[in-house]
Structure 1
Amino acid sequence: TIALGKDPVLATILGRIADDDALQSAFFASILDEAFAVVPDQAARAIADRINGFKIPEVDLPDRGSSTAALAEAGIYDADQERDKVFKPLLAGWKIFDRTDLGEDGLKAREELAHLA
């Protein structure tokens, strides 16, 4: 295997991927902020539906098993830590459990996420 820090081309590519990921994260957070400002119940429902149906994409890797297992082995992603490292921070950022602007549908969506509080 290649040590990531010792291959400047690979380090540059991975840096660009990380930068792009950060930009996408900020972009989608802004979209959700606006959605909550305009249609809070629908925003809460969309979040609940997406989280409740979430499954990390998985592919078979030649001679390495599944991509999910490889990510866990590398310490990058672990389904057991998904709640605390992925969903809880996102929900906290959107203040989903503190919102006072939700109607009946939004409150129902929030209840479906209560196990992540």
Structure 2
Amino acid sequence: YKPRVDWEVLAEHAKGVIATTGCLGGHVLQALMRDDYDGARAKAGRLQDIFGRDSLFIELQDQGMPEQRRTNPQLERIAAELGAPLLATNDSHYTHRGDARAHDALLCVQTGSLMS
């Protein structure tokens, strides 16, 4: 996992932003998948400190992946401990169908692959 934005940049631009904890590739879920509950809670807490109590949502996803089913109860617990709202989402990375090609290009850059 390679973060695209560091914590300091998030803090500089957090005003007015509504944020979520993200998908399996995000900081919080990566910690949970390493069985590091305390680390996941700390990362969610840091995001809440940056964006504010009412502007960070703990994101739940269930596309039938075993990792999601294993981590969702832990995310619910983190939300309860932080007093953060839950948000059920799909694993969306772009808004419009026409953005799919640009998203594919970014993934290729990230992975060093070629577009076919």
When normalised by structure 2's length, the TM-score is 0.32
Of Structure 1 and Structure 2, which has the larger fraction of its residues in strand? 2
Bigger RCO (CA 8 Å, 6+ sep)? 1
